[in-house]
Structure 1
Amino acid sequence: MYTYEELNDFVHSCTRCPLSRTRHQSVMGRGNLYSRILLIAEAPGQTEDQTGIPFTGRSGQIFDQMLSAAGMSREEIYLTNIVKCRPPGNRDPLAQEQEACMPYLKYETLLIRPEMIICLGRIAAQRIIRPEFRITREHGTFLKRKDVWLTAVYHPSAVLRDPSKYDETVRDLIAAKKKLGS
């Protein structure tokens, strides 16, 4: 099994898909390596591509606000993306790009050993929970697979576009925390 540092080196030198040619830098997951909660989004955005840190732009600001409102902080969670490089123009990552990064996500999950995975948005939920997952109907619902709770909430960028989703997302995060009994 690889260490976090080794996995980070693999991600930063990756050329498994064409996104490696258009990125400024790859974006490895960050956070508490002993977290009970793993949050997975779809792909880095423009600010993340510049900083190499997940959720550092406007989506990151609203994400931090929602975490705080739910009684959580980045210090207690681990946050990553399915795809480690920014798709051009912030388009949705293609299936082959997601597939190229899945070994990294699987290793991150093995390293963290979470009790719960929270998918941030439709793309992550459809990749992690099931392909036909509908975020508008199923956000905040729970499924247990291999002793790990799975759930999904709205992506922070969706909350930025539609602030009425803020309270629902905070409620979903609180429910997830409660599900773990903490």
Structure 2
Amino acid sequence: MLENISPPLDRDQLIMQAAALADHLHRAGVQWMPRPNEQAVQELKTRLFSPNAEAEGAGNAAASTMEAPGAGTQTPVSRPDSASLSAANPSAAKPTPAKTVPTKSAPATTSAPTAAGASPLLNAVAKPYPGASLPLAQRESELVALASEVAACQKCSQLARCRTHTVFGEGNANARVVFFGEAPGADEDREARPFVGKAGELLTKMIQACKFSRDDVYILNTVKCRPPGNRNPDPEEIANCRPYFEKQIELIRPEYIVCLGAVSGQALLDSKLSVGRLRGRFHPYFDSKVVVTYHPAYLLRNPAAKKAAWDDLQMMLRDAGLL
């Protein structure tokens, strides 16, 4: 298992991610977080990240530049040397154990203590979608062309043989919210539309509870063909369809992506965590905020989970200013 552990980020990456996180929290409405100060950052880098700087000292000094709630402009706090510490308090000179750097495979599982109405903490640093945002007519045209390409796809020989239709996706090419499911079922395969069976009826009710209609949002799946026996798509099938669903999302550029179930959440976020570990906070996918919640088919089998799913949708609605 050790070979699967990602190496810790280098110092420059940590600084860049901390600055990006501070900027995101300001945009989300958090008032107590100080804005990045380029001069202070450079001074800290020079003083703390020299070859003789201690790893734990760097972390402590960086943390000391954060403002307390309601405080004014912060001033970098100097770190006393070990001699002065020893003179003032002999026990302070004892080294402290080095802190373990969290790896990519173990993201934080709690939300940030933000002000009322602010977004839960994003799980990583977001980056913009590549290229320019297209006009609506051009988005629709490119989605139609991509749907034709999907209809002729033969990458997954088993799925291509047993499908009745490919199920590309449908909805508003300028949608604010995209609902991202797992794979078509028998009803979807027959009608060439996503989420039209019993799970689709529940999804429609969930969308309507958010004060949207299906025409307001966009709905798609990770794979475009029904797997035999309604099994989950295997990793190779998801990999074959990845360019299609990534291009759909890139063209639409939604503000929010609601991943319905583990398959879509894990595929989009490149994660192996369960829905229970991924839900309850936002994750970034380029400029979009990702919400992971339970699949409508799971909710039909486990009605008690409907409250948690509604909590996830309410989190999105509050962040969007719709609740």
TM over 0.5: yes
Structure of higher RCO (CA pairs closer than 8 Å, 6+ residues apart): 1
**Aligned-residue CA RMSD in angstroms?**
1.5
The yes-or-no answer on 1:78 pairing with 2:206 is no
Partner of 1:21: 161
Q: Secondary structure at the match of 1:140?
A: coil
Tell me by how many angstroms 1:146 deviates: 2.4
Q: Paired residue for 2:275, among 135, 149, 166?
A: 135
Q: Is the 8 A contact 1:28 1:84 kept in 2?
A: yes
Q: Paired residue for 2:306, among 153, 163, 166?
A: 166
Partner of 2:251: 111
Tell me by how many angstroms 1:118 deviates: 1.1
Q: Matches of 1:90 and 1:34 in 2, distance apart?
A: 30
Q: Matches of 2:203 and 2:285 in 1, distance apart?
A: 26
- Kindly tell me the number of residue pairs found equivalent between the two proteins: 182
Tell me by how many angstroms 1:70 deviates: 2.7
Q: Matches of 1:121 and 1:63 in 2, distance apart?
A: 12
Tell me by how many angstroms 1:65 deviates: 1.4
Tell me by how many angstroms 1:96 deviates: 0.6
Tell me by how many angstroms 1:45 deviates: 0.5
Partner of 1:7: 146
Q: Secondary structure at the match of 1:3?
A: helix
Partner of 2:233: 93
Tell me by how many angstroms 1:80 deviates: 0.2
1:126-164 CA-to-partner distances (Å, cap 9, x unmatched) read 111232222123323212242221111100000011111
Q: Paired residue for 2:170, among 30, 40, 53?
A: 30
Q: Indicate how the Cα distance of structure 1 residues 63 and 145 shifts in structure 2: closer, same or farther if over 3 A, else same.
A: closer
Q: Matches of 1:96 and 1:47 in 2, distance apart?
A: 24
> Letter of the aligned partner of 2:147 in structure 1?
N
Give the strand-richer structure, 1 or 2.
Answer: 1
Q: Paired residue for 1:121, among 251, 254, 261?
A: 261
Q: Secondary structure at the match of 1:97?
A: helix
Partner of 1:57: 197
Residue identity (%): 36
Q: Secondary structure at the match of 1:74?
A: coil
Rg (Cα) greater in structure: 2
Tell me by how many angstroms 1:72 deviates: 2.4
Q: Matches of 1:147 and 1:3 in 2, distance apart?
A: 20
Moved more, 162-171 or 76-85: 162-171
Q: Is the 8 A contact 1:71 1:174 kept in 2?
A: no
Q: Secondary structure at the match of 1:59?
A: helix
1:3-52 CA-to-partner distances (Å, cap 9, x unmatched) read 11101111111111121111000001111110011111110011000000
Q: Where do 5+ consecutive residues of structure 2 fail to align?
A: 1-138
1:34-77 CA-to-partner distances (Å, cap 9, x unmatched) read 00111111100110000000000000011111222232221211
Q: Matches of 2:278 and 2:226 in 1, distance apart?
A: 27
Q: Matches of 2:285 and 2:236 in 1, distance apart?
A: 24
